[in-house]
Chains A and B, each alone.
Chain A
Amino acid sequence: MSTVIERPAATAEVPATRPKVREKKRWGLTITGVVVALVFLFPYVIMLIGAFKTRREILKVPPTYLPQDWAPENFVNMWGTPETPLPWNLFSTIVISLGGTALALLAALPAAYYTARHNFRLKVPFLLLVLITQMLQPTVLASGLFREFVTLEINDTRLAMILVNAAFNLSFAVWIMHSFFASVPKEIEEAAWLDGCSRGQSLRRIMLPLVWPGIVTAVIFTFIACWNEFAASLILLPTDTNQPLTVALTRFIGQYESAWQYVFAVSIIGILPVVALFALIEKHLVSGLTAGGVK
């Protein structure tokens, strides 16, 4: 069993003590690795190829593996279809993601700093409460959220989704930043105070550079979680211009006719930025998601 280690641990590194001499190139494992990579990538390869097929070809029986006519115009035409107002959907996704991330950070940053620096009686109950919100997902509270937003008259607005996303991603942001703040020795900060720094100055000049990776991780993770959110948006945003890309996508899939080429073109647009951002923070993800329960 493990305890919380108050230090952002680099999960990716192999112990440095390991003798390098024993390592020989093990290409046999690489071959297995290629197979594993293919298994994890094949849906996204299908997606990418499908995004370049014409409507006629993607519904062809039997299907073709590679497009006979490449149709890059899908990426242009998808913005003006009768199924869904895609420019609005992209706008919604961006507004909800930026708003949700900003709000989550605004709420998490002071809490993470204070709980890492001070002991007070309600510290543990507070952190437990935060942790519990991570395990409660909006899906299980959907009907309560729906009723609340109807009462507040903000149902079916992007504001409602900003609030939902911020609240349910708060936990990760608090935990990851808490562990970064706690890893900075208090003496460093106290030395700065002795040298005449104000509390604000020491925060800005001493703490901020040291905890920056934690903040970046929190921001990126929250942004991606907002970007991918589906279930709550599906229930809380009936108006098509308010819906994010994840929900809009399903409108291309009809009971009788589906515009798969657009489903996949939208998906490519939706997935690429997120995967790139995700790769940047991979090292810190596990410690944040498990609230230090593993490392």
Chain B
Amino acid sequence: MAQIADTPRGNPALRRRARRQTTLQALPWLAPALILIIGVVLFPIGYMIYTSFRDLSQFGKDRGWAGLENYERVFGLDQLPRVATNTVFWVVGVVALSIGLGLVLAQFLNKRFPGRKVLRMIIIVPWAASVVMTSTVFVYGLDPFYGIINHFLVDVGILDVPFGFLKNPLPGFLAAMFVAVFVSVPFTTFVFLAGLQTVPQDVLEAAQIDGANRVQTYWRVVFPYLRGALVVATIINVINVFNNLPILKTMTGAIPGYDADTTTSLMFKIIQNDRQIDTASALSVVNFVVVVVVIGIYLRVVRPMRED
């Protein structure tokens, strides 16, 4: 702001030079961040795209140009239709459930009652804790023989006999979705709680005076204020859930085949089991395009830099 005041107003050439100067002046301050972003984010993107057009041996030796072979291999995978369907199901299911539960929980935590502060701290735990560590508890707990969750479900009468949740693709995948929702709900809840603080108290009181019932008040008065929070929570969750590897790796990673995989865990299996960095790169580029589209939607809809 002071910079604008310093700028010579009359002469456009002078103004341009002044602006170039401020950009140059900014450089030393931004350089460390820029070097990090270019070196560890932008360069690997380029290298990944380049690799996706190369032919690599299992030991990483570059054997030259491969054209579209890697992409043909990815799109020719027998398991791809199933994995793609899984991915859509995984992302839409987990995000929708997390948003729904987050909305309800935020509404609840926004009320005043004894112990509310403690409860907020408790809900943080699955958010703060390492996702692998949380997932392993479910791997153990859902074991059909010594699993304590299975045992509990039998004891309370929900199951007749222990069930091998993680032995087959479909129940394994659903159990993984449950854990993904479990670890996503806390963040989602806190975003909505922040959104609820933007609802003006007098508007709520006006709605009550006008005789709106609670359902009407929520959908007509409160919910519109949560639109921003809803968009942000949805998009950040979509990115996190789409990229999630720890849950699927620990919970369904041991199931043979690819029936419980998403495109992210498939990419990991191609690197780890098949050692095909070139094919994995082609698949990663496809995943990357998906992420870029989501980011584009985020920037279009949220416009995080609106103040400028």
A→B interface (CB under 8 Å): 1-4, 6, 9, 11-15, 17-18, 23, 25-30, 32-34, 36-37, 40-41, 43-44, 46-47, 50, 58-63, 65, 103, 106-108, 110-111, 113-115, 118-124, 126-133, 135-137, 139-148, 150, 163-164, 166-168, 170, 174, 186, 224, 227-228, 230-231, 234-235, 246-247, 249-250, 253, 255, 258, 260, 263-264, 267, 270-271, 274-275, 277-279, 282, 285-287, 289-295
Contact = CB atoms under 8 A, between A and B. Distances in A.
Contact of A46 (B39, B146, B148, B198): B148
B119 interface: yes
Given A140-B288, A170-B37, A287-B194, A228 B131 contact: yes
A40 B125 contact: yes
Interface string B37-63: 101110111111101000000001000
Among A26, A43, A271, A278: residue with most chain B CB under 10 A:
A43
Contacts of B201: 15, 17-18
A286 B36 contact: no
Contacts of A258: 140
Given A4-B304, A139-B264, A40 B22 contact: no
Looking at chain A's contact residues, is the secondary structure mostly helix, strand, loop, or mixed?
helix
A295 B198 contact: yes
Looking at chain B's contact residues, is the secondary structure mostly helix, strand, loop, or mixed?
helix
A176 to B, nearest CB: 14
Contacts of A255: 254
Given A136-B291, A143-B281, A231-B245, A41 B197 contact: no
A27 B221 CA distance: 27
Given A279-B124, A286-B190, A294-B232, A107 B33 contact: yes
In the complex, the 5 A-B pairs of residues with the closest C-beta atoms, listed nearest first: A144-B48, A144-B44, A167-B40, A278-B128, A114-B29
B147 A63 contact: yes
Contacts of B45: 136, 141, 144
A58 B146 contact: yes
Given A30-B114, A63-B146, A163-B40, A41 B131 contact: no
A291 B304 contact: yes
B88 interface: no
Given A3-B306, A29-B111, A132-B295, A271 B147 contact: no
Nearest to A49: B148
A144 B281 contact: yes
Interface in B181-195: 182, 186-187, 190-191, 193-195
Among A37, A133, A253, A286: residue with most chain B CB under 10 A:
A286
Interface stretch (B76-84, B169-177, B267-275): B267-275
A3 B229 CA distance: 11
B163 to A, nearest CB: 14
Interface of B: 1-4, 19, 22-23, 25-26, 28-30, 32-37, 39-41, 43-49, 51, 60, 105, 108, 111-116, 118-134, 136-141, 145-149, 151, 182, 186-187, 190-191, 193-195, 197-198, 201, 227-229, 231-232, 236, 239-240, 243-246, 249-250, 254, 264, 267-268, 271-272, 277, 280-281, 284, 287-288, 291, 294-295, 298-299, 302, 304-308
A293 B228 contact: yes
Contacts of A60: 146
21 contacts: A4-B306, A29-B111, A41-B125, A61-B146, A62-B151, A119-B1, A120-B23, A122-B26, A128-B304, A136-B41, A140-B287, A141-B44, A143-B277, A167-B39, A230-B130, A230-B246, A235-B272, A270-B130, A286-B190, A294-B232, A295-B194
Contact of B40 (A33, A145, A186): A145
Contacts of B136: 249-250, 253, 263-264, 267
B29 A27 contact: no
Contact of B129 (A36, A129, A271): A271
A29 to B, nearest CB: 4
Given A13-B197, A63-B151, A111-B33, 17 more contacts: A3-B306, A33-B108, A37-B118, A44-B129, A119-B4, A123-B26, A124-B308, A130-B33, A135-B239, A135-B294, A136-B45, A142-B267, A143-B267, A164-B40, A250-B132, A279-B128, A294-B228
